[in-house]
Amino acid sequence: MNAFTHPQTLTDPGDVEPVIAGTLVLMTQFQIQRLPCMIAKIGSNLELLASCPHLSPPFRTLCERLQEQWLETLHESQLGYTELERQSAALH
């Protein structure tokens, strides 16, 4: 089961670039604001791109892998700590 949901598909090739651009902007902004809603939208967009027939298989695979990493980030934000904090706690 996937934590990201996206109700639409990219049926028009012209819709792909705006989704890619929006996702890159969100990823950049996340480094500044770190809002959980941004993680969800990034993951949703990556899921959408991973299933887009207008993108090459390697690019779709890249989106799938990135989506998995953002899913992990979402889980960490919901738990309230990061991998670094987990590693630090393991040392003590």
Q: Which domain holds residue 43?
A: 15-91
In a domain? residue 5:
no
In a domain? residue 7:
no
In a domain? residue 32:
yes
In a domain? residue 6:
no
In a domain? residue 8:
no
Q: Express each pLDDT in 45-91 by its tens digit.
A: 999 999 999 999 999 999 999 999 999 888 887 776 555 566 666 66
Q: Say what the alpha-carbon torsion angle 55, 8, 19, 3 is, to the nearest 10 degrees.
A: -100
Q: Express each pLDDT in 10-54 by its tens digit.
A: 888 899 999 999 999 999 999 999 888 899 999 999 999 999 999
In a domain? residue 49:
yes
In a domain? residue 66:
yes
Domain count of the fold of the chain = 1
